[in-house]
Every structure is written in structure tokens, then in C-alpha cells.
Amino acid sequence: MELSLTLMVISIVAAYLIWFNSITRSIKGRNGPRIWPVVGSLPGLIQNSNNLHDWIAANLRACGGTYQTIIFAIPFLARKQGHVTVTCDPKNLEHILKVRFDNYPKGPTWQAVFHDLLGEGIFNSDGDTWLFQRKTAALEFTTRTLRQAMARWVNRAIKLRFCPILKTAQLEGKSVDLQDLLLRLTFDNICGLAVGKDPQTLSHVLPENNFALAFDQATEATLHRFVLPKIIWEFKKRFGLGCEAILSQSMKHVDDYMTSVINTRKQELLSQHNGGTPHDDLLSRFMKKNESYSDKFLQQVALNFILAGRDTSSVALSWFFWLVSQTPHVDEKILSELCTVLLDTRGDVVSKWLDEPLDFEEVDRLTYLKAALSETLRLYPSVPEDSKHVIADDVLPDGTFVPAGSSVTYSIYSTGRMKFIWGDDCLEFKPERWLSKDGKKIDPHHNDAFKFVSFNAGPRVCLGKDLAYLQMKSIAAAVLLRHSLTVAPGHKVEQKISLTLFMKDGLKVNVHPRDLTQVMTKIYSLQ
């Protein structure tokens, strides 16, 4: 009996090892992360959790731009849920994001994780549900009035809150957490643009705002679901345990706040027919488009745009200011461009340059600044990794077979750091790479949609791309025209591993006054 049991165990182990060897031999990228029996590549993920994006990039370099791995090396599971293809090859990205778009949706795992927060909103839906919202939103995002509305919200926040806070820090000689200030600034702006209501999180005393706090807690709790198997977080949700309890409580606050905003806006739109003040926020635009939209749908629309528009711009700006502080020649070129534009539009009285933030037309002329922001996003994309579900068996352009039911991760962070894509200087912060030979415009050759996917690409390319650049350019111009920034002594800049590329401990900077005299002298000498 014991001998029979032993032989059976040996047979099972032998059969498993034969299967394991065959499955590991069949996947692409032998130089990728090591795959262990049963636990797959999970040990490598855990070991490199503090530098995940650079680890993925190193694996992709070793494998020529694509590798495959198995999270759990368990028969029947490995081919589907545990099988992951990781790529940064632009040809593959174009195939996934455009050519075979319908074969690579967000998928059930992603949608389940974000359902409580985003419902069936545009960033968490596929198929007809996504297409309907996309078409409706696209009509609004192409209108000049929406960009003008964004400019008004941004410039008001810059003039009345952001610049005064930096000025106070300069005068008092105190460091500030620039990442926190930028998160507050972009949150106020996107709430204003999305729902027409300013939460004022950037007021001078930097107050806690119940809606902002609840929204942050709900987002953070949602991200924990990516770490846990679905069966575990669903169990915790059912019995109100841990992060799931926090998510439930936070969403109650978010729901109450949004219900109040929607009801108020309905009343205001009703009074508008009787001569009331018109609104140009996205929520009002959707309401005017179709009065039969449910409150739940309107809430999901608003929350999806708030989530997409808040963290991404603030995080990009944090990395931008850090990179510029490390490269004085880039700082000098940005400042020279700013002064040249303002000299043309406002004359040579410098005090007039600082009276008001740059207007829409002035911001539009800042080509080198846009190149520097694009270069920042190439090296430090706000969303470093994204994934898709595979509906049907497929073969990527580089010959990689991807099985139905598996997932594909495209590494945006890695795409910007590959020599075969960007050249030997790919790790350098070099805004000039984005410019035409005369330096007067962005070179479309270097702005290839699938080499630079920080704003996604294909049918799901970011609708708010132009608004994001408008906001980032306006904020960067306002700061660099008035101040030079240095990282506070002893402060260490590190990546935080999450869906958005935050700085782990913020960005503590010292704020110094800007002397424009030397810049003006140089400009006059060149004229």
C-alpha cells in the first residue's frame, strides 16, 4: 500500500516536471525572469517589488523587447490567468492597441477590480458601453471652449493659490512638498472642469477635504485588489474586512458628495433656461446632451475623468521639476523661451510678465517646454505599465504566440528606455530629441504614437492629451518664471510602486527667487 502510494506520488511529480519543462520551453524570452515550479515568477516579483519597473525594463532588454512568464506554474491555470506576455516593442504595441484592438480589451480582471470605484465608466468599460461614452466625450474634448475653461481654472488656481504658497515658502526659507501641492492643484482643477465645483484643497492652510480624502482612500483600497487573488478580496468585501471596509466607507462619502453635486447642477441648469449663469464643465455638458442620463451614469462619467485627470498631470510635473532641477541647461532654455514669448506679447517691462499667468495663445507657443514635458513622460510615464486581456489566440508581429485567456502587459516605462527604440542616449533627459532641426516645432517623427505611449494610443488614445499639456505647460511656466527649485538637502527621490508613478516620499524642494536680468541680457544680445 505504501509502495503504491509512493509510486503514485513519484508519477505525479514526474508528470508535473515533464509538463513544467515543456511549458517553460514553449514561452518566449529565456533570459526573462526565472520561473519556479508551482510559484512561477512570483518570487522574482516579490524580490524586486521596490524597483519593479526597472526590473521589467532589464528583463525586456535581455529578451529583445518581449518576454513571457507564468505567475503560477499550475496546470490548466498557467495557459490562461497565470500566463503573461510582457512587451515594449512598438510593432507589438501597435498590433495590440490598434490593429487587433477588439482582441485586447480591458478584460474581466481589471473591470472587477475597479468596478466599485469606476463602475462602467469610460476607463473601466469595453465594447459598446465604452464606445458610446467615447463618442460622446470626444465631441466635447474637441471644442475650443473646453480648453478655454481648463485655462481659466488653471490660471485662477496658479494666481490665487499656487504661486502665493511658493512665494511664502521662498520668503520663509522653508521647503515644500511640491508633489503634494501639485496633487492638490490638479485635483482642484479637474474637479472644476469635470463637475464645476472647486474643492479648494490648495488653499493656503492646505486643509483636508472630505471628498478628496474619501476619493484617495477609495483609490488606494482599490489598488490593493491587484495584490490579492479575486476570491480573497471578494471574501473580504462580503464580510467588510480590511481595505474592503475602507473602500465601502469611502465610496459612501464619494456617492453622497457626487449626489449633492449632481442635484445642485440639475437645479442650476433648470434655472439657466430662465436666464441663470451657464456652466461649461463636463458634467453639465453631458446633462445638456441627454436629460435622460441616470445619476449613476453621470457620477461614473465624472469620477472616471477626475481619476484620469488628477494624478497623471501632477505626477508628470513632479518628475519634470526634478529633472529640470538636475539639468541647468534645460532650465535655462525653458526660461529663455518663456522670456522671448513674453517679450513679444507683453513688452520689456518684466513686472507685467508676472501680473497674470500666461494666456492660452502664449502657452501654445512654448514649444521647447512641451518637448521637455514629453521627454519627462518618455522617461517617467504617469502610468508605467498597462495590461490587456486576450480574447482569442493570436501571434504578435515579433512572432510571439499569445494564448486566449492570458494577459498582455505593455511596459510604457520600458518603451522609453530601450536603445533599439530611442538610441544609445535613451536614458538621457534630452528635450531636443523631440524638436525639428530648426528647433521651432515638435518633430512628428519622434512623436510616433507607438514609440511614445504615455497617453495610450489607437482608439483609446487619451482624449485629454491637449488639456493635459495645457495644464502642465501653464503650471511649469508660472513656477519657472518666478522661481528656481532645488531638492531639499537629504531628501531622496524614489519611485513608489503603484499604478501611477508617484514619488515615494514626495518631492521636497527649496524655493529660490528667479533673476531674469541675465536671461534678458542674453536675449537682447542675440537680437
Q: Read off the pLDDT of residues 311-331 as tens digits, 9 standing for 90 and up.
A: 899 999 999 999 999 999 999
Classify residue 506: in a domain, yes or no: yes
For residue 440, the model assigns a pLDDT of 66
- Domain with residue 515: its CATH number is 1.10.630.10
**Grid cell digits, residue 453:** 505611449
Buried b (16+ CB within 10 A) or exposed e, 132-148: ebeebbeeebeeeebbe
**Buried-state track 319-346, b at ≥16 Cβ within 10 A, e below 16:** bbbbbbbebeebbebbbbbbbbbbbeeb
**In terms of Cα–Cα distance, which of 214, 27, 13 is closest to 116?**
214
DSSP string covering 60-92: HHHTTTEEEEESSB-TTTTTTTTEEEEE--HHH
Using pLDDT thresholds of 50, 70 and 90, give the confidence band for residue 79.
low
Distance CA 147, CA 133 (A): 19
Q: How many CB atoms lie within 10 A of CB 172?
A: 9
Within 10 Å of residue 521's Cβ, how many Cβ atoms? 10
Query: In whole angstroms, what is the distance from residue 351 CA to residue 377 CA?
Result: 32
Domain assignment present for residue 12? The answer is no
Mean pLDDT over residues 255-284, rounded? 79
Which residues are known binding-site members?
462
Paired strand residues for 87: 66, 410
What would the mean pLDDT of 346-371 be, rounded to a whole number? 89
* Nearest C-alpha neighbor of 299 from the set 359, 337, 253, 333: 253
- Is 277 inside a domain boundary? yes
Is 40 part of a structural domain of the chain?
A: no
Residue ranges in 158-241 assigned as alpha helix (H):
163-172, 178-195, 210-224, 230-238
Distance separating alpha carbons of residues 389 and 475, to the nearest angstrom: 37
Q: Which residue has the higher pLDDT, 108 or 445?
A: 108
CA-CA-CA-CA dihedral for 50, 226, 402, 108, to nearest 10: -160
Q: Domain range for residue 247?
A: 118-526
Q: Quickly state the pLDDT bin for 75 (edges 50, 70, 90).
A: confident
pLDDT of residue 7: 78
For residue 223, give the nearest of 414, 460, 500 by alpha carbon: 500
- What cell was used for 506? 514626495
Q: Which of 20-24, 29-33, 119-123 has the highest mean pLDDT?
A: 119-123
How confident is the model over 227-251, as a mean pLDDT? 89
Q: What is the sign, positive or negative, of the torsion defined by CA atoms of 300, 305, 306, 308?
A: positive
Distance CA 385, CA 410 (A): 6
Asked whether the predicted pLDDT for residue 308 surpasses 60, the reply is yes
Pairing of strands 401-402, 407-411: unpaired
3-state secondary structure of 484: strand
- Alpha-carbon torsion (163, 168, 170, 171), positive or negative: positive
| 485 in any annotated domain | yes
pLDDT value, residue 207: 82
Q: Give domain status of residue 301, yes or no.
A: yes
What pLDDT is stored for residue 25 in this prediction? 75
Query: Which residue type does 330 have?
Result: V
In a domain, 32, yes or no: no
What pLDDT shows up at residue 275? 55
Number of domains in the chain: 1
Q: Which residues are 386's β-sheet partners?
A: 410
Residue 46 in domain: no
> Would you state the pLDDT for residue 309?
83
CA distance 171 to 455: 38
The reported pLDDT for the residue numbered 166 is 95
Cell numbers placing 87: 512587451
- Which stretches of 239-294 are DSSP H helices? 242-272, 282-289
What integer is the mean pLDDT of 187-194? 90
Q: Which segments are annotated as binding site for heme?
A: 462
